[in-house]
Amino acid sequence: MTATTDGSTGALQPRAASASDTHSTTPVAAGAREAAVHAVRRSTEFLLSRQDAEGWWKGDLETNVTMDAEDLLLRQFLGIRDEATTHAAALFIRGEQREDGTWATFYGGPGELSTTIEAYVALRLAGDAPDAPHMAKASAWIRDRGGIAAARVFTRIWLALFGWWKWEDLPELPPELIYFPTWFPLNIYDFGCWARQTIVPLTIVSAKRPVRPAPFPLDELHSDPAHPNPAKPLARLASWDGAFERLDKALHALRKVAPRRLRKAAMNSAARWIIERQENDGCWGGIQPPAVYSVIALHLLGYDLEHPVMRAGLQSLDRFTVWREDGARMIEACQSPVWDTCLATIALADAGVPADHPQLVKAADWMLGEQIVRPGDWSVKRPGLPPGGWAFEFHNANYPDIDDTAEVVLALRRVRHHDPERVEKAIGRGVRWNLGMQSKNGAWGAFDVDNTSKFPNRLPFCDFGEVIDPPSADVTAHVVEMLAVEGLSHDPRTRRGIEWLLAEQEPDGSWFGRWGVNYIYGTGSVVPALAAAGLPASHPAIRRAVTWLESVQNDDGGWGEDLRSYQDSTKWSGRGASTASQTGWALMALLAAGEKDSKAVERGVEWLASTQCEDGSWDEPYFTGTGFPWDFSINYHLYRQVFPLTALGRYVHGEPFSGAEGG
């Protein structure tokens, strides 16, 4: 699948492949450099043509059908589901079903139980009969895997809203959690920001335990319909799991005796917390799941659908919709304009687009306007730190992130702006904020400082995805690279980050990728950062990384890594079908390591040139982005454009920075 532009937004939209999408016939025999020059020119033209009139880029952010299923369930719960929306969502969900009747969480991945259950229920809402072949195949597979009882907690919460599961058989999540002080274990700031924004509204839902009339039974999804809610034996008391399971039992008992006045006050405090964090566009944190649960929670507290907070929240959810040419409707989990814009700016500049090119200046203008200059939740741990970061989304003033901030600074440094004083002030604020967000181990997480408590992951409620935000190699590398470019290579804070990165290198020479798939992403992030910070290409860590990248290069010359490397690194680390984005990451690392003339680089460049489409783009159905390792995967539709162009541009024009001295 390739992409076209929606004239009203400039966002990349999917379209069906056509004859013009056949791969380039560039003769690689003419030499890798000639092929790269030709590919750079066409890719540059393609990317420039996709910029929005306001200056930003945004590709579709594709995840899995739980977004679409839960959107229909929300509308059913609120009584606002309509036939047109249901039909369009069902069209997309059906199109994602695999031959075995299941739904996966990423392209080419295995069927996943909870995703399949939610997709099945959504299609039942759309009118698909349970005895239809595609539905019968799905329900049989679900029963074989333990049925609804084996699904994750979040799936069973959605089913409990309609009486398809018992609330008393779900982990308890008391709203009094909102009163825990920041020094107390399991306070809301012990959770990563994405989990925090979801858990607070869910405490209200858990306390209220609402049940709407079910439009149909779901007996066919229980392995034992006579006993649909089987009790599970507790883990041994001496284990962490056993201790937290018994804590949950105690919370269930406490629910019966908790003072009503205290519970009501806690729910009202949670509601105030939610409303205070609603963004100007009506969303929460710029991501779909907290918005969905916040709308449900406030509705349960008496906020009608015409209340300004509710109306804005529901309208914001419509902005997560991507309409396909076939009439299908896909829901994005979030949107990535700041991330896409800074990466596109870097790619174009490294590909030789002049630093004062009007479109790069317009991109810089837009990014400058997106800087966040007021405190957010991060200031709970850093109350004295002045704001100055950038977020991932269009509207998310509460949760700027360290990764975006680092990459925006790197992008702004590549643009010759007509107001350099404004740029310098913005960069100064961003650098100061990033330095202030360094964790005590010398590294950086994505959103918060020292968000490393082990307790949240132990809760029975938290059986899906990451709920904490510890430092990662990829984020730390981007910050180190940014600090090096800013002349801070020898600053003690930068050196601590470098030392942490060196200590985190895997025995095989790679680095783990928290926010991209996976060891190729981590290695493609760290090696350029170390080189920018002044480590020589002969450094043992860099040589080990080069050896590893060469060892996992595919026979076709590209690189690829399957998401299964998060579960089984021995088998899948650096292994998978070649993709444009992952080949770009590998080449970026090898070029930074001084390997421009190596056979591995030549073969990688030739693979990118030979797989480029006639319009200058690349096809990439594979998911190479990560929300939660293994549990929630992302296909950033712009990754397939920006990272190949960045790598090819650096191959043709050389590395953009050799590492700044000073500090």
- pLDDT (tens digit per residue) in 65-113: 999 999 999 999 999 999 999 999 999 999 999 999 999 999 999 999 9
Q: What is the pLDDT of residue 14?
A: 32
Q: Write down the residue that tokens 């980050």 correspond to.
A: 497
CA distance linking residue 165 with residue 156, whole number of Å:
6
Q: What is the mean pLDDT of residues 214-234?
A: 85
Please indicate, yes or no, whether residues 392 and 473 belong to a single structural domain of this protein: no
CATH number at residue 520: 1.50.10.20
User: What is the pairing mode between strands 321-323 and 61-62?
Assistant: unpaired
Catalytic residue flag (residue 568)? no
In this predicted structure, the answer to whether residue 489 has a pLDDT above a threshold of 60 is yes
Whether 230 is in a domain gets the answer no
Whether 16 is in a domain gets the answer no
In this predicted structure, the answer to whether residue 28 has a pLDDT above a threshold of 70 is no
Give me 160's structure tokens: 């409990």
- Count helices and strands in the chain by DSSP H and E runs: 23, 7
User: In which band, very low, low, confident or very high, does the pLDDT at 454 lie, cut at 50, 70 and 90?
Assistant: confident
Asked if 218 and 212 touch (Cβ cutoff 8 Å), the reply is no
CA distance linking residue 68 with residue 256, whole number of Å:
36
Catalytic residue among 52, 71, 365, 403: 403
User: In which band, very low, low, confident or very high, does the pLDDT at 656 lie, cut at 50, 70 and 90?
Assistant: confident
CA distance linking residue 13 with residue 23, whole number of Å:
20
Give me 643's structure tokens: 């990272």
> What Cα–Cα distance (Å) separates residue 300 from each residue in 205, 214, 293, 304, 315?
7, 18, 11, 9, 19
CA distance linking residue 403 with residue 473, whole number of Å:
11
Q: How many domains does the chain have?
A: 3
The secondary element (H helix, E strand) that includes residue 15 is strand 12-15
Residue 95's identity, in one-letter code, is G
Q: Return the minimum-mean-pLDDT range out of 155-169, 227-241, 498-512.
A: 227-241
Q: In terms of C-beta density within 10 A (0-12 exposed, 13-18 middle, 19 or more buried), how is residue 260 classed?
A: exposed
Give me 358's structure tokens: 């009007």
pLDDT tens digits for 303-333? 999 999 999 999 999 999 999 999 999 999 9
User: In which band, very low, low, confident or very high, does the pLDDT at 224 lie, cut at 50, 70 and 90?
Assistant: confident
Whether 650 is in a domain gets the answer yes
Whether 461 is in a domain gets the answer no
Please indicate, yes or no, whether residues 249 and 382 belong to a single structural domain of this protein: no
Cβ-proximal residues to 30 (8 Å cutoff; 6+ apart), any chain? none
In this predicted structure, the answer to whether residue 196 has a pLDDT above a threshold of 60 is yes
> What Cα–Cα distance (Å) separates residue 117 from each residue in 137, 292, 318, 468, 475?
12, 19, 24, 26, 34
Q: What is the mean pLDDT of residues 453-464?
A: 82
Please indicate, yes or no, whether residues 353 and 433 belong to a single structural domain of this protein: yes
Asked if 653 and 350 touch (Cβ cutoff 8 Å), the reply is yes
User: In which band, very low, low, confident or very high, does the pLDDT at 544 lie, cut at 50, 70 and 90?
Assistant: very high
User: In which band, very low, low, confident or very high, does the pLDDT at 18 lie, cut at 50, 70 and 90?
Assistant: very low
Whether 315 is in a domain gets the answer yes
Whether 542 is in a domain gets the answer yes
User: How many Cβ atoms from other residues are within 10 Å of residue 416's Cβ?
Assistant: 14
Please indicate, yes or no, whether residues 174 and 320 belong to a single structural domain of this protein: yes
User: What is the pairing mode between strands 632-636 and 321-323?
Assistant: unpaired
Whether 81 is in a domain gets the answer yes
Q: What is the mean pLDDT of residues 376-381?
A: 96
Q: What is the mean pLDDT of residues 601-625?
A: 97
Please indicate, yes or no, whether residues 418 and 542 belong to a single structural domain of this protein: no
Please indicate, yes or no, whether residues 383 and 318 belong to a single structural domain of this protein: no
Q: Choose between 246 and 596: higher pLDDT.
A: 596
pLDDT tens digits for 494-518? 999 999 999 999 999 999 999 999 9
The secondary element (H helix, E strand) that includes residue 625 is strand 625-628
Give me 439's structure tokens: 């964790």
Kindly state the percentage of the chain with pLDDT values over 90: 85
How high does pLDDT run on average in the chain? 92
pLDDT tens digits for 106-151? 999 999 999 999 999 999 999 999 999 999 999 999 999 999 999 9
Of 109, 19, 5, the C-alpha closest to 57 is 5
User: In which band, very low, low, confident or very high, does the pLDDT at 29 lie, cut at 50, 70 and 90?
Assistant: very low
Please indicate, yes or no, whether residues 613 and 518 belong to a single structural domain of this protein: yes
User: In which band, very low, low, confident or very high, does the pLDDT at 460 lie, cut at 50, 70 and 90?
Assistant: confident
User: In which band, very low, low, confident or very high, does the pLDDT at 657 lie, cut at 50, 70 and 90?
Assistant: low
Task: Specify which residues 15 forms β-bridges with.
Answer: 2
Please indicate, yes or no, whether residues 492 and 373 belong to a single structural domain of this protein: no
Q: What is the pLDDT of residue 663?
A: 32
Give me 592's structure tokens: 């930074």
pLDDT tens digits for 389-436? 999 999 999 999 999 999 999 999 999 999 999 999 999 999 999 999
Q: What is the mean pLDDT of residues 458-465?
A: 78
User: In which band, very low, low, confident or very high, does the pLDDT at 476 lie, cut at 50, 70 and 90?
Assistant: very high
Please indicate, yes or no, whether residues 158 and 207 belong to a single structural domain of this protein: yes
3-state secondary structure of 492: helix
CA distance linking residue 522 with residue 615, whole number of Å:
30
Please indicate, yes or no, whether residues 486 and 428 belong to a single structural domain of this protein: no
CA distance linking residue 455 with residue 604, whole number of Å:
44
Residue 397's identity, in one-letter code, is A
Q: What is the pLDDT of residue 338?
A: 98
CA distance linking residue 96 with residue 92, whole number of Å:
7
pLDDT tens digits for 519-535? 999 999 999 999 999 99
Residue 177's identity, in one-letter code, is L
Please indicate, yes or no, whether residues 562 and 623 belong to a single structural domain of this protein: yes
Please indicate, yes or no, whether residues 545 and 567 belong to a single structural domain of this protein: yes
In this predicted structure, the answer to whether residue 346 has a pLDDT above a threshold of 60 is yes
Domain final residue, candidates 310, 331, 352? 331
Q: Residue 539: left if φ>0, alpha if ψ -120 to 50, beta else—which one?
A: beta
Asked if 616 and 566 touch (Cβ cutoff 8 Å), the reply is no
Residue 189 carries which DSSP code?
G
User: In which band, very low, low, confident or very high, does the pLDDT at 255 lie, cut at 50, 70 and 90?
Assistant: confident
Residue 12 carries which DSSP code?
E
- Tell me phi and psi for residue 216, to 5 degrees: -165, 160
Q: What is the pLDDT of residue 5?
A: 33
CA distance linking residue 342 with residue 179, whole number of Å:
39
- What residues make up the domain containing 351? 336-437
Domain final residue, candidates 297, 331, 365? 331
Whether 216 is in a domain gets the answer yes
CA distance linking residue 214 with residue 164, whole number of Å:
7
Domain final residue, candidates 331, 353, 377? 331
Q: What is the pLDDT of residue 578?
A: 98
Q: Choose between 81 and 253: higher pLDDT.
A: 81
